[in-house]
């Protein structure tokens, strides 16, 4: 190997310039080779430049016409606000179109133009390639916004809009485009055709962004009584003025940033695993995301709900318990999402992982072998994710509850924890069934099918069937300890809500389905373990046989 080769972390690119200007350029220009390459190609693409001109011109025209028209009829300040909202709506629309397009073409186009293989054979890791492409697309979008920013300044001519509002709105538009880029890249890494990826991404993202914008507008209109105006970017004025209100911080800052961050991370994790060769531990980026999402999401959700449960909205402790009911399904949902992805894990652990484990030390090796790549470790990992998710949200709920109640009140604390446990174990059952079906049939899609079928069955079919068959009201199901209706995870939420209201005293009948789900989950997990062990042993024998015969025949 040449002595000029350095580690991946030190890979950098400096512009071939000299002098003070060059040093400045070297500081400003991106250091990452992927970012630099992507920006070069994007900025030299005629389509990008045309889109830049067109969006700026159209945005400017619409904004100016709307502003001039309004200025004749209303006060200049109102016209300024209209210009502000019009400009940022157009900017959001433009980035909502551009971000998925850039994301969707980023990897699929490399595959289509046959440049991906040479890129994958460099020393850049898949994560680094994905990160570089993501940053480059975000920078391109920021450039689009910056290029059109003089239009936003027109609002200043009329007045009624502050610089902080404009800056916050720019950040919001850019942040809103990040999940679109990540989703586009995720689809792009999984499909061979750019057209399919483009279509898929736009089909997913355009409704999401349109509904998001309308929802934002509706919330703004609803909050008019609290002193905001009607446009969709009302939060840019409202948020800085209400930073002392924890409800505003939770709803307008923490929750949106968390959701954007987790969706973006999810998309990037899927993209990274899509770029990894089949010989690698392809689920690793996703496992990291799932672990973080499982632990943090329910906790953040509970913490965001908490401010809204306090006075003047009624009794704080009771409201908190009801708020917690909404959070009880999150560990189950996240675990099922994880199972859907991890069900494709191979029965035999990839050889690259086995070889890497041999080079590792005790605890790291044991951890990798227990919860790393492969169907059996993936099943164990899912159980850990389910467990940690439930434990973390329980711990935070107990602390918040103790603060709200001024001490620990077990009777009031326990009811929401029962549906949390029931929903989590029933989801774990569905997940382990999917994994067991995959392990038995060797087909990831049959495994996924079983997973989805059982989930739909538990959530929708079971209560409908039971209600139609028995004619019972769900309230009656709790009275018969042998009722199959108790197997419906939703009954635990209904019963817990009653318990919080004081209309129901005991949640004891839910112990039977809870224990049943645990038992079934354990049996299915054992099936996966045995299948994986058999497949691993068969692979070991076959490899030994092949190598032995190769030694005889080798020239």
Partner 1 sequence: MIRFESVTHRFGPRAVLRSVSFHVPRGQVCGFVGPNGAGKTTAMRLLVTLLPVQEGRVSVGGIDVDEDPLEVRRLVGFMPDAFGVYERVTIEEYLEFFAASFGITAAGRGRKVSEVMDLARIGGLRDRMVSELSKGMRQRLALARTMLHDPALLVLDEPANGLDPRARLEMRDLILELQRIGKTIFLSSHILTELADIVSSVVVLERGVIQCSGALADVAARAGNERTVVVRLLRAPDAPDRALADLVGVRSVELRGDRALAISLDGGDDLVAGVVERLVHAGYGVVSVEPERSDLERVFLRMTQGELQ
**Closest approach of partner 1 to the CB of residue 89, in Å:** 32
C-alpha to C-alpha distance for 291 and 127, rounded to whole angstroms:
18
Judged by DSSP in three states, 161 sits in coil
Q: Is residue 546 involved in binding partner 1 (CB under 8 A)?
A: yes
Of 473 and 551, CB closest to partner 1: 551
Q: Cβ–Cβ contacts within 10 Å for residue 248, how many?
A: 19
**Closest approach of partner 1 to the CB of residue 14, in Å:** 5
Q: Is residue 442 involved in binding partner 1 (CB under 8 A)?
A: no
Binding mask 348-377 for partner 1 (x = CB under 8 A): --xxx-xx----------------------
**Closest approach of partner 1 to the CB of residue 507, in Å:** 50
Q: How far is CA 208 from the centre of its chain?
A: 14
Span near partner 1 by CB under 8 A; candidates 41-49, 315-323, 443-451, 505-513: 41-49
Span near partner 1 by CB under 8 A; candidates 35-43, 99-107, 264-272, 477-485: 35-43
Q: Name the residue with tokens 């086995």.
A: 354
Give the H or E element holding residue 384: helix 375-405
Q: Name the residue with tokens 């485009």.
A: 177
Span near partner 1 by CB under 8 A; candidates 95-103, 118-126, 168-176, 289-297: 118-126
Would you call 163 exposed, middle or buried from its count of C-beta atoms within 10 A (0-12, 13-18, 19+)? exposed
SS3 assignment for 398-456: HHHHHHHHCCCCHHHHCCCHHHHHHHHHHHHHHHHHHHHHHHHHCCHHHHHHHHHHHHH
**Closest approach of partner 1 to the CB of residue 120, in Å:** 7
Span near partner 1 by CB under 8 A; candidates 5-13, 220-228, 315-323, 404-412: 5-13
Q: Is residue 406 involved in binding partner 1 (CB under 8 A)?
A: no
Of 35 and 385, CB closest to partner 1: 35
Q: Which residues contact 140 (CB under 8 A, 6 or more apart)?
A: 39, 42, 43, 48, 102
> Binding residue for partner 1 (CB under 8 A) from 74, 193, 503, 549?
549
**Two tokens, residue 372:** 């790393």
> Binding residue for partner 1 (CB under 8 A) from 20, 72, 121, 192?
121
Q: Write the DSSP symbol of residue 9.
A: G
Q: Write the DSSP symbol of residue 280.
A: S
> Binding residue for partner 1 (CB under 8 A) from 21, 24, 45, 403?
45
Of 311 and 554, CB closest to partner 1: 554
**Two tokens, residue 546:** 């092949």
Answer yes or no: are the C-beta atoms of 269 and 223 closer than 8 Å: no
How many residues sit close enough to partner 1 to count as binding (CB under 8 A)? 51
**Cis status, amide bond into 312, omega within 30 of 0:** yes
Q: Is residue 124 involved in binding partner 1 (CB under 8 A)?
A: yes
**Two tokens, residue 448:** 């996924």
C-alpha to C-alpha distance for 514 and 418, rounded to whole angstroms:
9
Q: How far is CA 294 from the centre of its chain?
A: 11
Answer yes or no: are the C-beta atoms of 158 and 76 closer than 8 Å: yes
Q: Is residue 534 involved in binding partner 1 (CB under 8 A)?
A: no
When computed from its CA atoms, the radius of gyration of the chain, rounded to whole angstroms, is: 28
Of 44 and 225, CB closest to partner 1: 44
Span near partner 1 by CB under 8 A; candidates 111-119, 162-170, 311-319, 382-390: 111-119
> Binding residue for partner 1 (CB under 8 A) from 27, 47, 72, 118?
118
**Closest approach of partner 1 to the CB of residue 541, in Å:** 12
**Closest approach of partner 1 to the CB of residue 113, in Å:** 4
Q: Is residue 553 involved in binding partner 1 (CB under 8 A)?
A: yes
C-alpha to C-alpha distance for 327 and 323, rounded to whole angstroms:
7
Span near partner 1 by CB under 8 A; candidates 28-36, 242-250, 255-263, 377-385: 28-36
Q: Is residue 159 involved in binding partner 1 (CB under 8 A)?
A: no
**Closest approach of partner 1 to the CB of residue 32, in Å:** 9
Contacting residues toward partner 1, per CB under 8 A: 1-2, 4-8, 10-14, 16, 33-34, 36-37, 40-41, 44-45, 113-115, 117-124, 277-280, 350-352, 354-355, 542-543, 546-547, 549-551, 553-555
């Amino acid at each position: 190997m040449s002595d000029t080769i350095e580690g991946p972390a030190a890979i950098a690119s400096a512009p071939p310039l000299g002098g003070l200007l060059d040093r400045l350029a070297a500081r400003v220009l991106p250091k990452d080779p992927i970012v630099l390459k992507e920006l070069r190609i994007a900025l030299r693409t005629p389509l990008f430049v045309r889109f830049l001109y067109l969006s700026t011109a159209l945005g400017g025209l619409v904004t100016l016409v709307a502003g001039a028209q309004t200025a004749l009829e209303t006060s200049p300040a109102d016209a300024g606000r209209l210009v502000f909202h019009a400009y940022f709506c157009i900017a959001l629309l433009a980035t909502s179109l551009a971000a998925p397009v850039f994301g969707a073409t980023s990897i699929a186009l490399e595959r289509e133009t046959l440049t991906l293989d040479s890129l994958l054979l460099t020393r850049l890791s898949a994560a680094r390639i994905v990160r570089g492409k993501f940053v480059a697309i975000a920078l391109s979008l920021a450039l689009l916004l910056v290029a059109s920013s003089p239009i936003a300044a027109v609002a200043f001519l009329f007045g009624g809009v502050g610089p902080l509002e404009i800056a916050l709105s720019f950040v919001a538009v850019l942040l809103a485009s990040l999940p679109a880029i990540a989703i586009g890249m995720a689809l792009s890494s999984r499909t061979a055709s750019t057209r399919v990826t483009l279509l898929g991404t736009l089909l997913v993202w355009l409704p999401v962004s349109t509904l998001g914008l309308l929802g934002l507008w509706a919330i703004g209109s609803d909050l008019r009584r609290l002193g905001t105006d009607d446009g969709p970017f009302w939060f840019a004025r409202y948020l800085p003025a209400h930073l002392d209100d924890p409800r505003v911080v939770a709803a307008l800052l923490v929750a949106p940033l968390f959701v954007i961050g987790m969706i973006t991370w999810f998309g990037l994790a899927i993209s990274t695993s899509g770029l990894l060769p089949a010989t690698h531990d392809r689920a690793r980026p996703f496992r990291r995301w799932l672990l973080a999402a499982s632990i943090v999401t329910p906790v953040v959700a509970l913490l965001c709900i908490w401010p809204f449960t306090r006075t003047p909205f009624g009794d704080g402790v009771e409201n908190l318990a009801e708020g917690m009911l909404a959070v009880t399904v999150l560990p189950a949902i996240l675990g099922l999402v994880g199972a859907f992805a991890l069900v494709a894990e191979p029965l035999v652990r990839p050889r690259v992982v086995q070889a890497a484990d041999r080079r590792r030390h005790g605890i790291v090796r044991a951890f990798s072998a227990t919860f790393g790549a492969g169907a059996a470790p993936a099943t164990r990992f899912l159980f850990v994710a389910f467990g940690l998710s439930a434990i973390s949200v329980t711990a935070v709920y107990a602390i918040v509850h103790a603060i709200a109640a001024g001490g620990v009140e077990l009777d009031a604390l326990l009811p929401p924890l029962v549906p949390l446990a029931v929903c989590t174990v029933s989801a774990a059952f569905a997940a382990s069934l999917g994994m067991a079906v995959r392990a038995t049939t060797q087909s990831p899609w049959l495994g996924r099918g079983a997973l989805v079928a059982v989930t739909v069955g538990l959530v929708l079919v079971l209560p409908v069937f039971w209600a139609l068959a028995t004619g019972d009201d769900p309230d009656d199901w709790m009275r018969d300890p042998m009722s199959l209706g108790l197997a419906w995870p939703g009954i635990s939420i209904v019963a817990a809500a009653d318990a919080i209201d004081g209309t129901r005293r005991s949640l004891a009948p839910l112990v039977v389905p809870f224990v049943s789900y645990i038992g079934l989950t354990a049996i299915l997990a054992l099936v996966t373990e045995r299948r994986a062990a058999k497949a691993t042993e068969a692979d070991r024998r076959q490899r030994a046989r092949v190598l032995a015969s190769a030694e005889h025949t080798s020239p």
